[in-house]
């Protein structure tokens, strides 16, 4: 069954001529047909188109490190000629005329795109219930959420309708669903991967990252999409390591910081117990555990919910019904058209955040809210930098709870926001973070988060790789 194999193994089999790209696509297409009605992970499936392209590649000399490998893509990353909705009614029929930089890079390596995945509208949410089309379900228990906002991308990898997928992470939108779905999800350092062609939510926080079942696959995809891009002013000219080679290096002697504040966030008992077992095993394979302190992380959620909505309020002003996207059918004048379009086109969570952000930026409030939040952001960054003087990386649970039930937090936005309490500080500091599966409780996955120094994705990938040698989590597949 080819759908059980990882991206690196598939690429290797194709390059040796042992399987054809079309055989690979057919296997994943069958898996998609078996699972999709139960989980609803894709907004726009592209399997038939990908299969046609795979047949064209059959018999051709393999070119590129992902030749014939299926990749799913979160629906806020544009692919030329393919509908990109951002999970919103306002962009329901938007077809972009260009490719995102990450898509160009994947195409150059021969990847095949099997679909655009479901997400919380404009990436605002932690459960993929705020999609304008339908909620996505957790494959380990379809009555529960898969996390968000990249829930669809996490689920495609969890059920193996794609071996790897792309997501975006503004406050935990890759790591939190990776934790809830029992897969690996990495958010690289801010500026490592180009944001050109990623539909903006909060520009100083958004970062494209990767989901996979194996560290090797995540490393491969990250290597392909990383690197400077002159079209993105926040993209940095920092050399991209050969992650695929670096991950196999010894981790003995690495110092792992355990922030005492992370364990004060009201963790569910089962999550804390699973995390403590994870730490014991890391110690057993040669890592040294060091207690560190991040005193300002307790202010991360309030700071984030001023900074992110403020940037969203500015970024989403472009959806006015004039140039592209949805336009209200009935209106009396241009102002009425503008307000009706936005009222009908945006969902409740997006409206809530636009209002929060517009208020925080309004005259007389800018200094009291936005400026103060930016100062707190700097203090959080300095907390991490002080901790990194003593340790090589930092570890904590990815989420404070197990996956919650569908609908459970929809009427309580504060509780929903708190599901990202452990991931948000990493975005505010612009650091790389990875969530790896560390155990199961009553059949539900638990994720552990590893946080690296700026530009040091290598160390967290090395620990992830060493961990899966003693805990081969990728062998476990949800029984739908």
**Digit-coded pLDDT (tens) for 398-416:** 999 999 999 999 999 889 9
> Does residue 264 form part of some domain?
no
| Tokens 């018999």, residue located | 59
Domain harbouring 103, CATH code: 3.90.1300.10
The runs of H, that is alpha helices, within 410-456 are 413-417, 424-429
Task: Give the sign of the dihedral formed by CA 186, CA 188, CA 190, CA 195.
Answer: negative
Greatest distance between any 2 Cα atoms in the chain: 70
> Does residue 290 form part of some domain?
no
238 pLDDT band, cuts 50/70/90, is: very high
Average the pLDDT over 103-131 and give the result.
Answer: 98
pLDDT digits over 264-295, tens only?
888 999 999 999 999 999 999 999 999 999 99
% residues pLDDT > 70 (the chain): 100
Res 356 pLDDT > 90: yes
> Does residue 461 form part of some domain?
yes
Burial 334-345, CB ≥16 within 10 A → b, else e: eeebbebbbeeb
Average the pLDDT over 75-83 and give the result.
Answer: 98
17 pLDDT band, cuts 50/70/90, is: very high
Q: Are the CB atoms for 273 and 448 separated by under 8 Å? A: no
pLDDT for res 59 = 86
323 pLDDT band, cuts 50/70/90, is: confident
Model-level pTM? Answer: 0.97
> Does residue 415 form part of some domain?
yes
> Does residue 294 form part of some domain?
no
65/63 Cα distance (integer angstroms): 7
Res 364 pLDDT > 90: no
pLDDT digits over 146-164, tens only?
999 999 999 999 999 999 9
% residues pLDDT > 90 (the chain): 96
Catalytic site positions:
74, 149, 173
452/265 Cα distance (integer angstroms): 21
Average the pLDDT over 63-86 and give the result.
Answer: 98
Average the pLDDT over 14-29 and give the result.
Answer: 97
343/408 Cα distance (integer angstroms): 25
> Does residue 322 form part of some domain?
no
Tally helices (H) and strands (E) across the chain. 16, 11
> Does residue 171 form part of some domain?
yes
Q: Within its chain, how far is the Cα of 175 from the centroid?
A: 6
235 pLDDT band, cuts 50/70/90, is: very high
Tokens of 41: 């992970």
pLDDT digits over 162-221, tens only?
999 999 999 999 999 999 999 999 999 999 999 999 999 999 999 999 999 999 999 999
> Does residue 16 form part of some domain?
yes
The runs of H, that is alpha helices, within 125-225 are 151-158, 175-181, 215-225
Domain of 138 in residue numbering reads as 2-257+390-475
Close Cβ partners of 249 (under 8 Å, ≥ 6 residues apart): 462
Res 480 pLDDT > 90: no
463/447 Cα distance (integer angstroms): 14
Res 366 pLDDT > 90: no
Number of domains in the chain: 1
């Amino acid at each position: 069954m080819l759908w059980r194999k990882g991206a690196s193994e598939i690429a290797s089999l194709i390059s040796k001529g042992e399987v054809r790209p079309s055989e690979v696509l057919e296997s994943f297409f069958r898996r998609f047909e078996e699972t999709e009605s139960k989980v609803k992970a894709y907004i726009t499936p592209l399997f038939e188109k990908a299969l046609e392209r795979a047949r064209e590649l059959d018999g051709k000399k393999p070119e590129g490190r992902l030749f014939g490998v299926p990749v799913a893509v979160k629906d806020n990353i544009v692919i030329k000629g393919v509908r990109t909705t951002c999970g919103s009614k306002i962009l329901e029929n938007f077809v972009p005329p260009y490719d995102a930089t990450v898509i160009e890079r994947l195409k150059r390596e021969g990847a095949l795109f099997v679909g655009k995945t479901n997400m919380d509208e404009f990436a605002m949410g932690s459960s993929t219930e705020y999609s304008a089309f339908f909620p996505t379900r957790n494959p380990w228990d379809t009555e529960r959420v898969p996390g968000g906002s990249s829930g669809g991308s996490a689920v495609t990898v969890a059920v193996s309708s794609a071996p790897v997928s792309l997501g975006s992470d503004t406050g935990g939108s890759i790591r939190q669903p990776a934790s809830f779905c029992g897969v690996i999800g990495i958010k690289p350092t801010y500026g490592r991967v180009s944001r050109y062609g990623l539909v903006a939510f909060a520009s100083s926080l958004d970062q494209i990252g990767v989901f996979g079942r194996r560290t090797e696959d995540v490393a491969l995809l990250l290597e392909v999409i990383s690197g400077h891009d002159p079209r993105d002013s926040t993209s940095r000219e920092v050399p991209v390591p050969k992650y695929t080679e670096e991950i196999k290096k010894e981790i003995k002697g690495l110092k792992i910081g355990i922030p005492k504040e992370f364990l004060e966030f009201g963790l569910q008992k089962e999550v804390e117990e699973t995390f403590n077992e994870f730490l014991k095993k890391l110690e057993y394979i040669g890592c040294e555990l060091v207690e560190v302190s991040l005193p300002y992380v307790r202010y991360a959620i309030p700071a984030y919910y001023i900074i992110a909505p403020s940037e969203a309020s500015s970024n989403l002003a472009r959806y006015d019904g004039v140039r592209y996207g949805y336009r209200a059918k009935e209106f009396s004048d241009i102002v009425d058209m503008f307000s009706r379009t936005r009222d009908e086109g945006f969902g409740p969570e997006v409206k809530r955040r636009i209002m929060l952000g517009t208020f925080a930026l309004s005259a007389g409030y800018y200094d009291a809210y936005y400026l103060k939040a930016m100062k707190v952001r700097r203090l959080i960054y300095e907390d991490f930098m002080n901790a990194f003087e003593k340790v090589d990386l930092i570890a904590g649970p990815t989420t404070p709870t197990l996956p919650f039930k569908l609908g459970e937090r929809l009427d309580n936005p504060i509780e929903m926001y708190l599901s990202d309490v452990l991931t948000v500080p990493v975005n505010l500091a612009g650091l790389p973070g990875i969530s790896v599966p560390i155990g199961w409780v009553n059949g539900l996955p638990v994720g552990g988060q590893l946080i690296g120094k700026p530009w040091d994705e290598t160390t967290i990938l090395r620990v992830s790789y060493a961990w899966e040698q003693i805990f081969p989590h990728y062998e476990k597949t949800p029984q739908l």
